[in-house]
């Protein structure tokens, strides 16, 4: 196990790690405040594309966590970067929330509603997903459009449990079209890891990934050469660790222990 203090930056999940149901989780605000005071960079990374980086930063500030838009990386932002680099000028059929449609349009990405006009289909979290959207995406993919998605999560945590997420939409399209999604940019992909490391200007061995999910947060680390800390404030039960293929480097009850992992003295030492 790496010595405490071996990391100079942190990739931190949001929902289930920093907050849940709109309220900060135990120890989170204090721990992140200590990290900020010690100039330890924290990049908040979320697979949830329903808010922009600016909107997430504003939400964090209302909870008492200092954050600017550049401190947040979302799967929506990464898929926009991919489209601009790999499919510039393409007409995109987006299955996603209105906020993501607005982000796409704000970056000059051409959006279409008809599958016959689409060069790329982007699947994302969409609480208004219905048969017509499914049919238009089906038509586009059957005609050869590229198949991209923001995140693989099967479910998304909400106040009273979980709701279906982008993973279900990906599966619906894969089954009906008969082909696999080509690119999924969110955690645990190498694309998300590289984007985060680029933002932090750090090497993988210098960065600790912190989150509450084994299949996205911890897997982001194990697949991409980063150490990980699993917090037990979200969807993972301790018994899940017995059979999990991706094992965290550390297990924390909550974020309160994070500063000590990066070598910060206890608050009483100040």
Using one digit for the tens of pLDDT, what is the confidence trace for 228-262? 999 999 999 999 999 999 999 999 999 999 999 99
CA 129 to chain centre: 20
pLDDT of residue 5: 67
CA 221 to chain centre: 13
168 to each of 47, 174, 176, 199, how far by Cα in Å?
Answer: 14, 10, 12, 30
215 annotated ligand-binding residue: no
Q: In this structure, are residues 35 and 71 in contact, taking their beta carbons and an 8 Å threshold?
A: no
- Among residues 15, 71, 165, 246, which one is catalytic? 15
Q: What are the pLDDT digits (tens) for 66-75? A: 999 999 999 9
- Among residues 13, 126, 217, 246, which one is catalytic? 13
pLDDT band at 119 (very low <50, low <70, confident <90, very high): very high
Task: Tell me how far apart the alpha carbons of residues 92 and 107 are, in angstroms, rounded to a whole number.
Answer: 13
pLDDT of residue 159: 76
Q: What is the DSSP string of 155-181?
A: EEEETTEEEE-HHHHHHHHHHHHTS--
CATH number of 9-47+187-269: 3.40.50.1000
Residues 6+ apart with CB under 8 A from 41: 8, 9, 10, 200, 202
pLDDT of residue 6: 80
pLDDT over 50 (residue 123):
yes
Residues 6+ apart with CB under 8 A from 58: none
pLDDT band at 28 (very low <50, low <70, confident <90, very high): very high
121 forms beta bridges with 93, 147
Residue percentage of the chain with pLDDT more than 70 = 96
pLDDT over 80 (residue 154):
yes
13 annotated ligand-binding residue: yes
More confident residue, 22 or 54: 54
15 annotated ligand-binding residue: yes
Phi-psi region of 68 (alpha: psi -120 to 50; beta: other; left: phi over 0): beta
Residue percentage of the chain with pLDDT more than 90 = 90
Task: Tell me how far apart the alpha carbons of residues 103 and 124 are, in angstroms, rounded to a whole number.
Answer: 13
Q: What does the pLDDT average to over 139-161?
A: 92
- Indicate if 13 belongs to the active site: yes
pLDDT of residue 157: 77
More confident residue, 149 or 264: 149
Residues 6+ apart with CB under 8 A from 86: none
Average pLDDT in the chain = 95
187 annotated ligand-binding residue: yes
pLDDT band at 3 (very low <50, low <70, confident <90, very high): low
- For residue 44, the SS3 value is strand
Q: What is the pTM of this model?
A: 0.94
Pick the CATH number of 76-184 from 2.60.40.10, 3.40.50.1000, 3.10.20.30, 3.40.50.970: 3.40.50.1000
Residue intervals in the chain for CATH 3.40.50.1000: 9-47+187-269, 76-184
């Amino acid at each position: 196990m790496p010595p405490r203090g071996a990391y100079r930056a942190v990739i931190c999940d949001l929902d289930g790690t920093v907050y849940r149901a709109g309220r900060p989780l135990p120890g989170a605000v204090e721990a992140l405040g200590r990290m900020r005071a010690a100039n330890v960079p924290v990049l908040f990374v979320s697979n949830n594309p329903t808010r922009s980086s600016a909107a997430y930063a504003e939400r964090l500030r209302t909870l008492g966590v200092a954050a600017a838009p550049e401190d947040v990386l979302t799967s929506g932002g990464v898929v926009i970067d991919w489209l601009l680099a790999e499919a510039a000028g393409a007409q995109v059929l987006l299955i996603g929330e209105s906020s993501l449609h607005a982000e796409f349009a704000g970056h000059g990405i051409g959006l279409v509603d008809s599958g016959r006009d689409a060069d790329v289909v982007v699947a994302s979290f969409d609480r208004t997903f219905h048969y017509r959207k499914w049919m238009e995406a089906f038509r586009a993919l059957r005609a050869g459009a590229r198949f991209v998605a923001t995140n693989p999560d099967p479910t998304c945590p909400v106040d009273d449990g979980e709701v279906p997420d982008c993973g279900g939409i990906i599966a619906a399209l894969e089954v009906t079209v008969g082909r696999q999604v080509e690119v999924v940019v969110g955690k645990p992909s190498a694309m998300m890891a590289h984007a985060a490391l680029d933002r932090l200007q750090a090497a993988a061995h210098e960065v600790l990934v912190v989150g509450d999910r084994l299949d996205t947060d911890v897997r982001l680390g194990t697949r991409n050469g980063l150490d990980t800390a699993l917090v037990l404030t979200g969807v993972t039960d301790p018994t899940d660790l017995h059979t999990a293929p991706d094992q965290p480097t550390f297990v924390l009850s909550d974020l309160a222990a994070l500063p000590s992992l990066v070598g910060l003295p206890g608050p009483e030492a100040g």
